Amino acid sequence: MEKAKEIAWNWIDENKGRLIEVCDKIWRYAELGLLEYKSSKLLADLFRENGFKVEMGVAGMPTAFVATWGEGKPVIGIMGEFDALPGLSQKPVPYREPLEEGAPGHGCGHNIHGTSGAAGAIALKVAMEQLGLKGTVKFFGTPAEENYSGKVYMVREGLFSDVDIVLSHHPGQLNTAGLSSCNAITSVKFHFYGKSSHAAGSPEMGRSALDAVELMNIGVNYLREHVIDKARIHYIIEFGGTQPNIVPDYARSWYYIRAPEWDQVEAIYKRILKIAEGAALMTETEMKVEVLGGSYNLLPNKVLSEVVIKNMREIGAPEYTDEELEFAAKIAETIPKEEKIGMLRRIELPNWERYVDVNLVRDIFDPWDEGKVYPASTDVADVSWQAPTMEFSTTAFVLGSPGHSWQNVACAGMSIGHKSMLFAAKVIAGAAIDFLTNPELLKKAWDEFKRRRAGRTYKSPLPPDLKPPLEVAKAAAEAALRRR
C-alpha cells in the first residue's frame, strides 16, 4: 500500500507542470454550466492521453463524461466539476480587476475541482498498473453543479450504480473532510397566463398574470410561519410584463424550496402548489408548473472522512511562500474583520478565535460538524445515496472570503490554488489506494452507508421526462453576454 501511494504521489509531483497548465486553462475558459465544451474536452483528452476509455455526452449532457480504466472490483469513483459563475471575471491579482468586464469566472474554484479529481484518478491508475492491483477507476466529469445539478441526471441514468466508493474534492478555506449534511432542494417555475388590455382605458377586460404572481408570493410569505425552522423558500419574479399601461397577460416566478430531507421538501412544495392554484383562481388566470430539477440531502460517511484526513496528514498541508502570504494578506484587506468573525462563528470552527488573523489555513481539522445541516444544497448529495461518498476540502481561498467572489477567482487562478489542487490530488489517490487494498475498510464504509440510509429510499427528484435544460442554459448565457 505504501509503495502504491509513493508511486501515485510521485506521478503527481512529476506531472505538476502539466496539471497546473490544465487547471489554468479551465480557469481562463470560465464556461457556464452545460456549456463547458472546452473545459470538458481538455479533461477528457487528458484521460485519453493516459490510457483511459472516455465516454462523452452521457446522461443527455454534451459536456458530461465518464473516463474508465481497469476491470473488476472494487470500483473507485472520483468526481470533478468544471463550470464557472456569471459576472465574476477576475485577473489573478489581489484587487478587483476583471479579465473581461461582465464575463464569467471561477468563483467556486471548479477549475481546481476538475483538475484535482483528474490528477488523483490518473495517479491511482499509474500505481495500480505498475503494481498489478486489480480494480476499476472511474472518473465522472460532472457539469453544471452551480445551476442545473448535472450529477442528478447522471444518477438517474444509473452511472453510479456500480461504484464502491466515491471521492471528490472541493476547494475551500480549510483542510477537512466534513460530516455535515445539506438541504434537499427543488427548483420550480410558475407560469401564469392572463389577458392583456389597456390598464387605464379598459382594465375590467384584463386578467393580470402579474397579480397572480404577486398574490402567490404573498401567500407563500404567510406560509413561512407554518413550515419547519430549517426550511428555506426563496424566489424571484423573472418576468412581470412589458410596460405599466398594459395589463400583463404573462408573468413568471422562480422558486427554490429547501429542507433537511427530501420528503420535507415535497410536503412544502405541495402547499406552495395549492397557493399558486389559489392565486390563479383569484385572478382568473391559467397556471402552469415547470419543475426544473432538484437534489437530495447529503449522506456523510465517517469512515471515508477518517481515511481522507489520515492521508492529508501523511502528505502534509502545503507551505506558502512570502509572495503567496503577501497576496493573501492583500486579499484579506478587502474582507471586513467583523464579517470574517461572523463566518467563523457561523461555521462553529473549534477555537475560532485563533484564526481571526490567519489568512491561509494550514491546519488539518478533524470534522466537528456531524449532525449539522447546512442551508445550501449540492448535487453531490444524490451521489451520496448511491454509494459511500466524500467531498472534502483543501485550502484554496483566503479565510473569510465570501463564497462565489472575485477574491476566490483570484486565488483559484494562481499558485495558492495550484497548491490546493496538487495536495487534493494526492489525498484522492492515497485514500483511493487505502480502500482499494483493504476490503475490510470498504466493508466498514458500506456498513455505515447502510445505517445512514436505513428505512429510506431514493427516488429521483427529477420528473421522468425532464431532460437537461440545454437550450435554457444557452439562452441564459446569451442573455448574460448581451448585458456585458
270 lies in the same domain as 355: no
Q: Tell me the one-letter amino acid at 77.
A: G
| pLDDT for residue 82 is more than 90 | yes
Residue 312 belongs to a domain = yes
CA dihedral 412, 415, 416, 421 (to 10 degrees): 70
Same domain, 25 and 173: yes
Q: Is the pLDDT of residue 346 over 90?
A: yes
- State how far the Cα of 472 lies from the Cα of 456, in Å rounded to an integer: 33
CA triple 420-80-442, angle to 5 deg: 90
465 within some domain: no
3-class secondary structure, 296:
coil
In the predicted model, is pLDDT for residue 256 greater than 90? Answer: yes
- In a domain? residue 156: yes
Give yes or no for residue 455 having a pLDDT over 90. no
State the CATH number of the domain containing residue 272: 3.30.70.360
Which amino acid would we find at residue 283?
Answer: T
Statement to judge: residues 306 and 431 lie in one domain = yes
Are residues 197 and 146 part of one domain?
no
Question: Would strands 135-141 and 75-80 be described as parallel, antiparallel, or unpaired?
Answer: parallel
What confidence tier does 125 reach under pLDDT thresholds 50, 70, 90? very high
Q: How much is the mean pLDDT over the chain?
A: 96
Does one domain contain both 310 and 288?
A: no
User: Same domain for 395 and 316?
Assistant: yes
In a domain, 469, yes or no: no
Closest CA to 129 of 438, 440, 388, 429: 429
How many domains are there within the chain?
A: 2
At 147, the pLDDT band (50, 70, 90 cuts) reads confident
pLDDT of 267-313, one tens digit each? 999 999 999 999 999 999 999 999 988 999 999 999 999 999 999 99
Q: What is the pLDDT of residue 476?
A: 83
pLDDT surpasses 80 at 482: no
Q: Is the same domain home to 65 and 166? A: yes
Domain boundary among 274, 294, 314: 294
Give the residues across from 392 on adjacent strands: 169
**258/384 same-domain check:** no
Query: What CATH number corresponds to the domain at position 22?
Result: 3.40.630.10
Helices first, then strands: H and E counts in the chain = 15, 14
Give dist(CA 115, CA 47) in Å, integer: 11
In which band, very low, low, confident or very high, does the pLDDT at 481 lie, cut at 50, 70 and 90?
confident
Cα–Cα distance for residue pair 8/13, rounded to 1 Å: 9
Label residue 479 by pLDDT band (50, 70, 90).
Answer: confident
Pair (218, 357) in one structural domain: no
In eight-state DSSP terms, residue 227 is: S
480 pLDDT above the threshold of 80? no
Same domain? 88 vs 194: no
Q: What single DSSP character describes residue 15?
A: T
Domain boundary among 233, 266, 294: 294
Judgement on whether residues 189 and 331 belong to the same structural domain of the protein? no
User: Concatenated DSSP letters for 407-441?
Assistant: HHHHHHTSHHHHHHHHHHHHHHHHHHHHHHH-HHH
Q: Does the residue 348 lie in any domain? A: yes
Residue 178 banded pLDDT, cuts 50, 70, 90:
very high
Does 387 map to a domain? Answer: yes
Whether 459 maps to a domain, the answer reads no
Query: What is the pairing mode between strands 184-193 and 250-259?
Result: antiparallel
Domain with 143, as residue range(s), is 2-181+297-453
| Cα(65)–Cα(34) distance, integer angstroms | 12
Q: Is 458 contained in some domain? A: no
Reported confidence tier of residue 225, pLDDT bands at 50, 70, 90: very high
How confident is the model at residue 250, as a pLDDT?
Answer: 98
- Answer whether 189's CB lies under 8 Å from 238's CB: yes
Torsions phi, psi for 132 (to 5 deg): 70, 30
Last residue of a domain, one of 294, 313, 348: 294
What is the pLDDT confidence band of residue 477, given thresholds at 50, 70 and 90?
A: confident
Residue 433 is placed in which grid cell? 489506494
Closest CA to 370 of 298, 310, 444, 456: 298
- Cβ distance 182 to 327 under 8 Å? no
Instruction: Using alpha carbons, select from 394, 390, 388, 426 the residue that is nearest to residue 311.
Output: 426
Residues 88 and 198 in one domain: no
Between CA 24 and CA 46 the distance in angstroms is 14
